[in-house]
Structure 1
Amino acid sequence: MTVRFAALGDSLTEGVGDPVPGGWRGWAALLAPTLSPGPVEFRNLATSGALSRDLLVSQLPTALALRPRFAAVLVGGNDTLRASFDLAATAHRFASVLSSLTSIGAVPLTACLPDPGRLLGLPAPLARPLARRMRGVNAVVHALSAHYGAAHLHLAELPWTQRRELLSADRLHPSAVGHQLIAREFHALLAAAGHPVGPPPVPFAVPAPGRGADLWWMATQGTRWVAARSTDLLPGLVALAALEARHLLRGSADRLDRAGAEATAAIVTRLTATRPRPADRLEAISNDQ
């Protein structure tokens, strides 16, 4: 019997950082053939820059049509980089995606994401608000993953900043070695949960990106990537930095942390009290902005 695996997400799941001829490979493609002792049908729906709304509106309908046994749902990092970031809306979309997938019997694969500000070594006015937003998203993902019985990987806790070979040249996405690690960790989770998976992904040697690789990436791909992202990410980052700087000057940044934690707890309580209806029945899809 063929096992189907659909991967929903952004550039992390698309495979950025693990180049192969003609594009990207990534952790989901490495994991796919190990999800069953028999044949596996894999479809990667993830796209670079995707937001939670893109998963709900654009990727989910295709995933549901595939009726997968497993479905990766990794999202949230790009949402945190928008000036219009709304944790409640992001959480509701994530819950709707999980509800829809579990309603057809799919097993979701989810993960807490590493803090982008820490990976990039950003200054405090940028790093603090990004970390606060990422903590909120991760808390929601963690709670909803437990609520819907997902195989949840604590991806944020892997040693990204301690092991340079795990990060790609852009220092934001996993390297080929990092993608291998994610695939192995997900496989171990599923095996421990009793799923009849096949043998684990076999690690293979890949040179760690060095300074030369960093410069080559920036010269050949990085400038184009940064330019494309700047049109949508940079305004949000500037707005975040300005707000945080004002609070740092006033000595009120801790209040932002407390308010963020309280708001996150309220969202989690609300969304885990009941199971939201599957997204394909939600009128909010057509109106979601």
Structure 2
Amino acid sequence: MSAPRFRRYVALGDSHTEGVGDGDDHTGVRGWADRLADHLAGVEPELTYANLAVRGRLAGQVRAEQLDAALALRPDLATVLAGVNDLLRGEFDADAVGAHLDAMFTALIAQGATVVTFTVPDITRVIPAARPLGGRIVALNRHLRAATRHGVVVADIASHGVVTDPRLWSTDRLHCSPLGHERIAAALAEALNVPGVDSSWSDPLQPPLPRRTALATVGGELRWATAFLAPWLGRRITGRSSGDGRSAKRPQLQPVRPALPFEAR
């Protein structure tokens, strides 16, 4: 199957799409959407790309704050990922999240865009304390997989064991590491039949990680809870969000690759 040549790519979502975990706020975050744009620009050098994602956003907020802006950019490719922040909240409603996702999928497709999403890895394999969220992840992924009925391209990355390898996750365990972001980008590029990308993104990392002792595991959990869980709980209690005061890092379509001198003349 030949690869489509996209000219206008717009990404909608939360911190995962923004790129948290791949870079930092001083040098800038990159992330799987930026990396996917690089893959696509290898096929279509004139590709332009916008990233409307803002960390901390719930699915309803992504729909309310980003959908109209995305439609105004008239993308021929859009990625949509939302709902992870919702499943961390006590009032999680899988059907409501699914309705927000469906509304975004259908609006973008109705305007002529190819829409891509992917299933959420089982974070309970990365964060043992998150085991009570297992059923919520299953419910969210059920909605994401069902998006194929709208014509959405769904990369089912959650079905591959490698996505819960700790080396694909940042130290906060909620966001991917640079390697994890690159694996997701490659998975989406494969789903879009981008030349030069194959299924090797799903290969297990080598060498396998050694088994940790019980003492090392407990110590790691305590350090993670102190460094990341406690601040997150503090924001929930005070009604703050990691995205407060933030806006999209790339709100307008911009070239992915700078024009060469002879192209600029």
Task: Give the TM-score of the pair, scaled to structure 2.
Answer: 0.70
CA distance, structure 2, for counterparts of residue 118 and residue 230 of structure 1:
24
2:212 matched to which residue of 1? none
Task: Give the deviation of 1:85 after TM superposition.
Answer: 1.4
Are the equivalent residues in 1 in contact too, given 2:155–2:191 (CA < 8 A)?
A: yes
Q: 1:11 aligns with which of 10, 15, 32?
A: 15
1:31 matched to which residue of 2? 36
**Partner SS for 1:160:** helix
Say if 1:104 and 1:233 are closer, same or farther in 2 by CA, change over 3 A: farther
The letter of the residue matching 2:38 is P
Say if 1:69 and 1:199 are closer, same or farther in 2 by CA, change over 3 A: farther
Indicate the structure whose relative CO is greater, using CA pairs within 8 Å and at least 6 residues apart. Answer: 2
CA distance, structure 2, for counterparts of residue 54 and residue 75 of structure 1:
9
1:65 matched to which residue of 2? 72
1:116 matched to which residue of 2? 123
Q: 1:190 aligns with which of 189, 192, 207?
A: 192
CA distance, structure 2, for counterparts of residue 186 and residue 78 of structure 1:
21
Are the equivalent residues in 1 in contact too, given 2:75–2:113 (CA < 8 A)?
A: yes
**Partner SS for 2:192:** helix
After superposition, the CA RMSD in angstroms is 2.9
Are the equivalent residues in 2 in contact too, given 1:49–1:78 (CA < 8 A)?
A: yes
Are the equivalent residues in 1 in contact too, given 2:118–2:144 (CA < 8 A)?
A: yes
Are the equivalent residues in 2 in contact too, given 1:2–1:38 (CA < 8 A)?
A: no
Are the equivalent residues in 2 in contact too, given 1:6–1:45 (CA < 8 A)?
A: yes
Say if 1:8 and 1:67 are closer, same or farther in 2 by CA, change over 3 A: same
CA distance, structure 1, for counterparts of residue 175 and residue 68 of structure 2:
27
CA distance, structure 2, for counterparts of residue 116 and residue 110 of structure 1:
18
Query: Could you report, residue by residue, the CA deviation over 1:73-110 in whole angstroms, capped at 9, with x for unpaired residues?
Result: 11111111112211221111111000100011111111
The letter of the residue matching 2:192 is L
Query: Could you report, residue by residue, the CA deviation over 1:243-274 in whole angstroms, capped at 9, with x for unpaired residues?
Result: xxxxxxxxxxxxxxxxxxxxxxxxxxxxxxxx
Task: Give the TM-score of the pair, scaled to structure 1.
Answer: 0.65
Task: Give the deviation of 1:224 after TM superposition.
Answer: 7.8
**Partner SS for 1:79:** helix
Query: Structure 2, unaligned stretches of length 5 or more?
Result: 202-215, 240-265
The letter of the residue matching 1:142 is R
Are the equivalent residues in 2 in contact too, given 1:52–1:79 (CA < 8 A)?
A: yes
The letter of the residue matching 1:120 is I
Query: Could you report, residue by residue, the CA deviation over 1:2-45 in whole angstroms, capped at 9, with x for unpaired residues?
Result: 71111111111111111065321001001113224231111111
1:127 matched to which residue of 2? 131
The letter of the residue matching 1:62 is A
Task: Give the deviation of 1:200 after TM superposition.
Answer: 4.6
The letter of the residue matching 1:56 is R
CA distance, structure 1, for counterparts of residue 106 and residue 189 of structure 2:
23
Are the equivalent residues in 2 in contact too, given 1:119–1:160 (CA < 8 A)?
A: no
Say if 1:53 and 1:65 are closer, same or farther in 2 by CA, change over 3 A: same
The letter of the residue matching 1:177 is L
How many residues are paired up? 209
1:253 matched to which residue of 2? none
Are the equivalent residues in 2 in contact too, given 1:37–1:198 (CA < 8 A)?
A: no
Q: What does 1:273-284 correspond to in 2, within 5 Å?
A: none
CA distance, structure 1, for counterparts of residue 6 and residue 82 of structure 2:
27
Query: Could you report, residue by residue, the CA deviation over 1:32-60 in whole angstroms, capped at 9, with x for unpaired residues?
Result: 13224231111111111111101110011
Q: Where do 4+ consecutive residues of structure 1 move more than 6 Å?
A: none
1:141 matched to which residue of 2? 144
Q: Determine if the alignment matches structure 1 residue 106 to structure 2 residue 113.
A: yes
The letter of the residue matching 2:108 is L
Most deviating of 37-46 and 64-73 = 37-46
Say if 1:143 and 1:224 are closer, same or farther in 2 by CA, change over 3 A: closer
CA distance, structure 2, for counterparts of residue 226 and residue 43 of structure 1:
33
* % identical equivalent positions: 34
CA distance, structure 1, for counterparts of residue 191 and residue 233 of structure 2:
33
Query: Could you report, residue by residue, the CA deviation over 1:95-133 in whole angstroms, capped at 9, with x for unpaired residues?
Result: 1000100011111111110133332111xxx513x1111
1:22 matched to which residue of 2? 27
2:235 matched to which residue of 1? 231
The letter of the residue matching 1:183 is A
The letter of the residue matching 2:14 is D
Say if 1:156 and 1:8 are closer, same or farther in 2 by CA, change over 3 A: same
